[in-house]
Structure 1
């Protein structure tokens, strides 16, 4: 996978290879790509025509914009951690999702989600067979994918309300954010 997807190889052929490959690098890059696209859609709610301002906005840009507009930390912090993990896989030669990547991502999500991931057992279905694991014993790739799926739901559920008030001397904007309630 590493030979086909490089930071500069952002094209249709490379994207096709990304979706056909099953190694851990592809899992991380696909996860990052999906979250990045969803986050950029949210950013475009408050910054229309973002693509006219930036040639190819990235997740790191979305995170900076969301932070600027005071999105709660429990939302942007896991996105930043996922971006760091993608960087390690794309640039530092990491090619296997390890427990450290799962733990760093899990430590970045909001505590309510963390407690749900860490309690009880996890059922994973492979080849039609259901297997149960404790959180500590579950395969890390599947844990990583579960956490990323939760992040995707968080990104999709994020809503922005912009209130604009006018006075004779100024225009004020108040931005508030809502998401998944726990």
Structure 2
């Protein structure tokens, strides 16, 4: 049995798919704006903490989304996929291959946005890695350890851990938000 050639997507449908992908990327970017533009140093600090807590989850989400794209490429969309209706135009009905391509582009746009956030945070973390109290940040936000457990591993007091983590988070805040993060 010969492998059938995939039919080409009409230009108007392809442009619609690209438009949907751009709008999705813009919507994801807009969703992150409250985290990206704090009004003062306190908000910048809290936003930095929220972003650090989210970092491990975002990494898992990216892997899950990449696996979902591979599943979609291998098996296609489910017969009754709700995500297909999102890509339907009122006057034009997309065939399953066009809908699949739109869903994949949409998922790829989300992955790119999430990966950008991961890259920005990892780049900022690289700057504080040489600090002897870097572990107070990584253990707290990525491992979920409390100050006492971190203090035990660092061989210092829990108050020292807290104080140095605050200092490092303020440094990250300035790196991520600029002058808005300065008291």
For normalisation by structure 1, the TM-score amounts to 0.28
Query: Which structure has the bigger radius of gyration?
Result: 2
Give the number of the structure whose residues are more often helix, by fraction: 2
Compare relative contact order (CA 8 Å, sep 6+) and give the higher one, 1 or 2: 2
Q: Select the structure that is richer in strand.
A: 1
Please, what TM-score do these two structures have when normalized by structure 2? 0.28
